[in-house]
Amino acid sequence: MSNSLGPIKYCFEGVLPSGIATCSADGIPNVTYLSQVQLIDDTHVGLSYQFFNKTKTNITENPQASLLLIDPFSGTQYRLQLRYERTETSGENFEKLKVKLDAVASMSGMSKIFKLKGVDIYLVSRWECMEENASSLSAPTTASFSELNEITQRISQCDQLAPLLDTALSQLEHRFGYTHSMILFMNPDGKSLYTIASHGYTQHGAGAEVRFGEGIIGTVAEQRKAVKISNMKRENIMADAIKQQANKISSDYVFKQRIELPGLKNPKSQLAVPIEAKNSLLGVLFIESEEVASFNSDIQELISSIANHLGTAILLCDDETQESSTSESSNQEIKHSPSGNPLKVRFYLADKSIFIDNDYIIKGVAGAILNRLLSIHLEQGRIEFTNRELRLDPELSLPEIADNLEARLVLLQRRLEDRCHAITMVKTGRGRFRLDVNCELDLMSVAANLP
């Protein structure tokens, strides 16, 4: 049988554990399970070196090993004969394995314990099927490059941010069958992400934050490398890790600001890839599934290509040097008749957060923008605004080219849709939008006494 590992490449998806057998110089055998087996090339594999001191000792004395792999789709078992060559503690192979282990460690609360020491590189001298008359390996369905071309064309046709993000996520379902996904953008602090678009969840979760290094999403953002988990625990360990961290924060005010991250209750597999453009991280594209092994290595590469194309499209949508001339005058007065009790809107200067009737809406740049829009609306009766005037507004003190201004407006629009139907934002053209207020406002800025 050929030594090439290509025919059994799907055994390396990490769905089922692999066993390795080694033997000491005295002839004493040892068998243990591995957390990761990485396909390096056609004739080499990489094994994670973490806790297996006995295996490491045996390999040092006797560099031979036997590895058992299981095809996750047919259940066929394969035995590989290995010979140890070297241990890598840096480089591409090490980093590729490290980012996945870091994500798993973060989700299980073991970031300080579960550390990759190195990647042991082995030559595969031969491999064999353990079953007679076994059927050929049943490969999972893999998306074609024609589908990649279709989705990138749809993305390229979008010239505004909100439809661009929604198109990308809906196309993931239409073309590839991935019904649950979300896009998160990087916060200006460079230490966290916020959810700006989601697909397939009952709650949109716009504004939900994930810190760098937190779970699979935060790990991908921190290390800017894709992570695929093919077989997760039944509980949503990512959400649990976030909740546990939130419970450590004693401030009731901070707790009130927490927006739940959307997610499946029992995900079986997850994939997160960085969204980059011009050598900068813009955010993370995250997909999850209720099926085991929904994302093989080929799919991971394809989704990464989509994310790269999406990153370029995001930058183009954020370029608003030209504004649409089809919108009505920005000085148009309000057309709606407010009714009902006044809506209590409080803007807290400490962190620029907005609460409406004691319900948290948004904070930071988006909070400051909403406060400014409502102030202008009350003072002048205006409902039409432009992105450009926000950039130049001295009250906001935004830079002339504000990072992710359009993204902040999309986020604000979706948070209002989720939490306050009395105030809505409607896109009226490139770089233009309308603010509809359908009730009386009681707007106040508060310097202290956070709720």
> Residue 1: which residues within 8 A CB-CB, separation 6 or more?
126, 127, 128
Q: What is the CATH number of the domain that holds 173?
A: 3.30.450.40
Residue 135 within any structural domain of the chain: no
Domain co-membership, 54 together with 108: yes
Residues 19, 91, single domain; the answer is: yes
CB 133 within 8 A of CB 257: no
Comparing CA positions, the residue from 171, 155, 173 lying closest to residue 288 is: 173
Whether residue 120 is contained in a domain is answered as yes
Q: In the chain, how many domains are there?
A: 3
Identify whether 136 is part of a domain: no
- 277 shares its domain with 416: no
**324 in any annotated domain:** no
So what's the pLDDT on residue 332? Answer: 45
CB 314 within 8 A of CB 281: no
What global pTM score does this model have?
A: 0.81
> Same structural domain for residues 156 and 252?
yes
Helix (H/G/I), strand (E/B), else coil: 91:
coil
> 292 and 155 in one domain?
yes
Question: Measuring CA to CA, which residue among 116, 92, 104, 165 is closest to residue 314?
Answer: 165
154 and 280 inside one domain: yes
Same domain, 181 and 285: yes
Q: Which CATH number covers residue 10? A: 2.30.110.10
Q: At what angle do helices 405-419 and 297-318 cross, to 10 degrees?
A: 100
**Residue 312 sits in the same domain as residue 185:** yes
- Encode 159-188: b = buried (16+ Cβ within 10 Å), e = exposed: ebbbebbbbbbbbbeebbebbbbbbbbbbe
Q: Which residues of the chain have pLDDT under 70?
A: 1-2, 35, 50-52, 107-114, 132-144, 233-257, 318-340, 399-403, 448-451
Distances in whole angstroms, Cα of residue 141 to Cα of each of 176, 230, 413:
9, 15, 38
Q: How far is CA 68 from CA 128, 208, 226, in A?
A: 10, 42, 26
Same domain, 314 and 358: no
Burial of 238 (0-12, 13-18, 19+ CB in 10 A): buried
Q: Clarify whether residues 107 and 36 are in a common domain.
A: yes
Domain span at residue 403 reads: 343-446
| 52 token code pair | 């297996």
Q: In the β-sheet with 353-356, what is the strand arrangement from edge to edge?
A: 359-362, 353-356, 343-348, 441-446
Task: For residues 160 and 272, state if they share a domain.
Answer: yes
- Written as six digits, the tokens of 43 are 């004739």
**Which of residues 128, 159, 188 is at a domain's end?**
128
3-class SS at 28?
Answer: coil
pLDDT value of position 54? 85
Task: Tell me what pLDDT residue 148 has.
Answer: 86
**Within a domain: 23:** yes
CA 301 to CA 297: how far, in whole Å? 6
**What pLDDT score was predicted for residue 321?**
47
- Look up the CATH number of the domain holding residue 413: 1.10.10
pLDDT at residue 338, rounded to an integer: 53
Quick one: 74 exposed, middle or buried, by C-beta within 10 A (0-12, 13-18, 19+)? middle
Residue 137 lies in a domain: no
| Segments in 275-433 forming alpha helices (H) | 297-318, 364-380, 387-392, 405-419
Displacement of CA 108 from its chain's centroid (Å): 18
Q: How far is CA 104 from CA 119, 241, 427, in A?
A: 17, 11, 40
Kindly list the distances between the CA atom of residue 149 and the CA atoms of 183, 283, 294, 305, in Å, as whole numbers in the listed order.
Answer: 20, 22, 21, 10
**Residue 326, pLDDT score:** 47
Do 218 and 295 sit in the same domain of this protein? yes
- Does residue 330 belong to any structural domain of this protein? no
pLDDT in tens, 146-199: 888 899 999 999 989 999 999 999 999 998 999 999 999 999 888 999 999 999
pLDDT of residue 256: 59
